[in-house]
Structure 1
Amino acid sequence: MMPAMDFPSGTPADLARLVADYPLAWLVNSGAHGFFATPLPLVAELDGQGHVAALIGHCSRRNAQVAALQADPRAQVLFMGPQGYVSPALVSRPQWAPTWNFAVAVFAVTVAFDDPGTMPAVRRLTDHVEAGQEQPWRIEQAGDRLPHLMARIIGFRATVTASDARFKLGQEENLPELLEILSGHADPALVGWMRRLNADRLHEQVAPHGDQTTG
């Protein structure tokens, strides 16, 4: 797992949102023939308390990582969410130093491949990533190609045994500097996550009619 860092870990809902918004992750393990790392889009399966209990995905049957994981199913899954440089040009306070904000997560998992679960895994991912489309694409629209495509892949369920999420998104900044960064940073996704992880402080600065207060 990741070394311990002095950054807030967020809530289970923050972690689930990170996986949902940034589904492409690295599946990493080691085996008798070396080190393996494959980028794969994954969908979170949540338990009754909203914690990420498993990650559902699929990969190529020809991927050497499949045999390695069948021999030893232990692996790690690495997610990189919003991230970006924060320049002193955004902050008026003298001697303020640059920093890098980010949201990342590492899961320790046990991978179980599932032939019958391949189609449901693909359908689940497709439905997730197509959800925002006006007319979501469905896997049946692949037509005659679908059986050939499905024969090349295998689904899996990666059961989460431990997780470590790190959200360094301006919580350590004084409020005046945070507000300057939020108003001046060019990455709307990063700004949105900074607002999410600082909602308690930012809410205190908003009057009932939306006007900013002075303190």
Structure 2
Amino acid sequence: MDFPSGTPADLARLVADYPLAWLVNHGEASFFATPLPLVAELDESGQVTALIGHCSRRNAQVAALQADPRAHVLVMGPQGYVSPALVSKPHWAPTWNFAVAAFAVRVTFDEDGTMPAVRRLTSHVEADQPRPWQIEEAGARLPHLMARIIGFRATVTATDARFKLGQEEDLPELREIIAAHPDPVLAGWMQRLNDDRLQAHAAAHRDETAG
């Protein structure tokens, strides 16, 4: 079954809300997978064109990617089981809703880009704090910390995004699921990805009632 791929804005938000992703190198003889927080770089149209991050210089994946820069970045967003207990329709079967993305990338390590990569990530994850932490606050530890890591840019060559968030459900069942699902974050994504048809249905219902 093909699942909806969402819009560029949906994908950008997925990466922004769930920055911890798996970086998986392409090599078969030397397989490495590292969980790393990444920040999306967007073009003028809002498409994700690159993922910016940093990792430990001691990570064996660095040498593997320098030898062969091909890799995949795997993003797991909101996900969860949807029980028939949430739905009043008889014989409704359970399902699993999710938002995920896989990026084929080419990784380039960048000595000069290490500090900008760390600043970019810090600014992103600290944005909601009353007083966002600044990297200079690491003080005397900063040079030692920076010496242990290296920044990289993962240029996106292909994207496979899947947003299975109730688009296949009839509206009465979808409304029940959104209202009763125990994960409010997942329910919020279902609401947003179906907002157009939910609003259209609500408007049609108001017109019928008024008539």
Question: TM-score over 0.5 for the alignment?
Answer: yes
Q: TM-score, normalised by structure 1?
A: 0.93
Match of 2:97 among 97, 101, 120: 101
Contact preservation (8 Å) 1:32, 1:68: no
Contact preservation (8 Å) 1:24, 1:41: yes
Match of 1:81 among 77, 83, 91: 77
Provide the C-alpha distance between the structure 1 equivalents of 2:177 and 2:135, rounded to a whole number of angstroms: 42
Following TM superposition, by how much is the alpha carbon of 1:135 offset from its aligned partner in structure 2, in angstroms? 0.6
Match of 1:91 among 68, 87, 90: 87
Provide the C-alpha distance between the structure 1 equivalents of 2:29 and 2:118, rounded to a whole number of angstroms: 29
Provide the C-alpha distance between the structure 2 equivalents of 1:213 and 1:134, rounded to a whole number of angstroms: 47
Quote the residue 1:181 is aligned against. Answer: 177
Following TM superposition, by how much is the alpha carbon of 1:33 offset from its aligned partner in structure 2, in angstroms? 4.4
Q: TM-score, normalised by structure 2?
A: 0.95
Contact preservation (8 Å) 1:83, 1:101: yes
Provide the C-alpha distance between the structure 2 equivalents of 1:137 and 1:213, rounded to a whole number of angstroms: 53
Q: Do residues 61 (structure 1) and 40 (structure 2) align?
A: no
Quote the residue 2:163 is aligned against. Answer: 167
Quote the residue 1:137 is aligned against. Answer: 133
Identity %: 79
* Paired amino acid for 1:174: D
Provide the C-alpha distance between the structure 1 equivalents of 2:28 and 2:94, rounded to a whole number of angstroms: 43
The correspondence of residues 47-58 of structure 1 with structure 2, limited to 5 A, is 47-58=43-54
Gaps of 5+ in 1: none
Task: Report the 3-state secondary structure (helix = DSSP H, G, I; strand = E; otherwise coil) of the residue aligned with 1:59.
Answer: strand
Following TM superposition, by how much is the alpha carbon of 1:213 offset from its aligned partner in structure 2, in angstroms? 7.6
* Paired amino acid for 1:189: V
1:142/1:212 Cα in 2 relative to 1: closer, same or farther (>3 Å)?
A: farther
Provide the C-alpha distance between the structure 2 equivalents of 1:212 and 1:18, rounded to a whole number of angstroms: 35
Provide the C-alpha distance between the structure 2 equivalents of 1:213 and 1:26, rounded to a whole number of angstroms: 49
Following TM superposition, by how much is the alpha carbon of 1:98 offset from its aligned partner in structure 2, in angstroms? 0.4
Task: Report the 3-state secondary structure (helix = DSSP H, G, I; strand = E; otherwise coil) of the residue aligned with 1:66.
Answer: helix
Following TM superposition, by how much is the alpha carbon of 1:205 offset from its aligned partner in structure 2, in angstroms? 3.4
- Greater fraction helix: 2
Following TM superposition, by how much is the alpha carbon of 1:203 offset from its aligned partner in structure 2, in angstroms? 1.0
Gaps of 5+ in 2: none
1:113-154 Cα offsets, whole Å, 9 max, x none, are 000100000000000000000111011000000000000000
Contact preservation (8 Å) 1:205, 1:212: no
1:207/1:75 Cα in 2 relative to 1: closer, same or farther (>3 Å)?
A: same
1:9-33 Cα offsets, whole Å, 9 max, x none, are 0001100000000000000014374
Contact preservation (8 Å) 2:123, 2:132: yes
Quote the residue 2:42 is aligned against. Answer: 46
Contact preservation (8 Å) 1:58, 1:155: yes
Following TM superposition, by how much is the alpha carbon of 1:193 offset from its aligned partner in structure 2, in angstroms? 0.5
Contact preservation (8 Å) 1:102, 1:167: yes
Q: Tell me the C-alpha RMSD between the 2 structures.
A: 1.6
Q: In the comparison of the two structures, how many residue pairs are matched?
A: 208
